[in-house]
Structure 1
């Protein structure tokens, strides 16, 4: 049985309790972060904490604790759950208050919940076979740069992909791909240039994205941050996604169209390898 953390207390998951008046439950009024764990160490923890602070500030939501305290909680959860490989989810909400669309008083204490999830991050079958995706309209709210807990539409997109017999969905707005249902999206054009949408309100500012783009540039790859269309993606040399739980995974089919030769591309495969190497060297 997992040990989880809820508002100052480590407890068995079956004893974890959050108020029915918590605004995360009533309004999806909260944010979250997912930190990968390899060999019992945290990947890019400081990057995730920086994004957490940004998300909290955008929602005028109080920080639940200082970064050193949050690091201690993460490490204790790793130890208490003997977590070798997987993720730690952290959710911060505005806290419990009488139901009202207006924010509660400034002294309302935020809710802080963390839990672990064991998973294979290094040896994912999709790294060797590639992902098949379909496109769906991007119907989310306009502030996708804030990592909020309101994930209903991405969940619906994943269910649509499942119904259509594929692995995931890429969301499309004005003819261009924004991102995957829970990941950032990329293509590699015929000339070998890596293309991905620029940072703005339309996409999540991925921590893995940031690291992969840096590693790509350091490896001598040309990188272009601009929107790309679905049609561009279908004729690309390669396509792939990045996220904290997937690292880098190749995409080999979009809406039934085979990408490249239908096998994981050389660039995506190499970026996955160097990302994992870097993650292991810098994990805390």
Structure 2
């Protein structure tokens, strides 16, 4: 059965949805996106994603074709139309079609699309074993705080990790970990302190990252926002990543070396459980 997708105000079967070959999202990756998790047919952390969307649009001088209420309504409708109980909603907004020119067009008509993806988020075999990551140079553009669709290098990194029998890559710049290919990176020191890189243009301002920091502090887990090296991560007691697609996922090996005991750590598991409980109770 085909998914029902949203394209510029229309609800269409996925095979019927078409975007112009002149769309700047296709020609220049001139587009931003957001991913919202769905659990029990409800949206997880939606206000944070909506706020980040607004910020990304402003940074690129783009406008959203829908107002805030309409955008929320479309998210709820796409869940209902696809009978989505657990999974993800991907939303993308491009500057729209225009004749090819590097300069932004004067009066563009943005293209907005949404589609769903069924995915088991609450359960995964990797939650029992943790994932393995490799380290790679971070060769992305410097405005990683804007959630754009130019994801070629993260795709290269993820593919390289798979070729090296790992699950993901942690990217390194100037000797410090920035983030994973599509998630924020965290470690737990042997003293039990949560450490994650501070916000800047070097990393995406993760919505799940922010939630985990709040929950950690509320649960009495000390947290520090600063950069850390790959070696510090390898010497840590625990490590994990956060994202809308995996929530909190343990990292148990870096470059083939086990982290701590080589199994998901207690603080990681505690924070994941707290996140799931809290965000499900506040889903909309």
Distance in 2 (alpha carbons) for counterparts of 1:199 and 1:177: 13
Residue 268 of structure 1 aligns with which residue?
Answer: 268
Between 1:56-65 and 1:141-150, the stretch displaced more is 56-65
Distance in 1 (alpha carbons) for counterparts of 2:57 and 2:168: 28
Secondary structure of 1:221's counterpart equals coil
Q: 1:96-111 alignment to 2 at 5 Å? A: 96-105=97-106, 107-111=107-111
Give me the CA root mean square deviation.
0.5
Q: Give the deviation of 1:62 after TM superposition.
A: 1.2
Secondary structure of 1:56's counterpart equals helix
Distance in 1 (alpha carbons) for counterparts of 2:254 and 2:3: 38
TM-score (norm 2): 0.99
Residue 26 of structure 1 aligns with which residue?
Answer: 27
Residue 61 of structure 1 aligns with which residue?
Answer: 62
Secondary structure of 1:5's counterpart equals strand
Distance in 1 (alpha carbons) for counterparts of 2:48 and 2:167: 28
Q: 1:1-284 alignment to 2 at 5 Å? A: 1-105=2-106, 107-284=107-284
Give runs of ≥4 in structure 1 deviating > 3 Å: none
Distance in 2 (alpha carbons) for counterparts of 1:123 and 1:67: 32
TM-score (norm 1): 0.99
Deviations 1:68-117 (A, max 9, x none): 10111111110110000000000000000000000001x31110000000
Q: Give the deviation of 1:125 after TM superposition.
A: 1.3
- Give 5+ residue unaligned stretches, structure 2: none
Distance in 2 (alpha carbons) for counterparts of 1:71 and 1:62: 16
Distance in 2 (alpha carbons) for counterparts of 1:258 and 1:186: 15
Distance in 2 (alpha carbons) for counterparts of 1:8 and 1:19: 15
Distance in 2 (alpha carbons) for counterparts of 1:208 and 1:272: 10
Q: Give the deviation of 1:267 after TM superposition.
A: 0.5
Distance in 1 (alpha carbons) for counterparts of 2:63 and 2:79: 25
Distance in 2 (alpha carbons) for counterparts of 1:209 and 1:127: 18
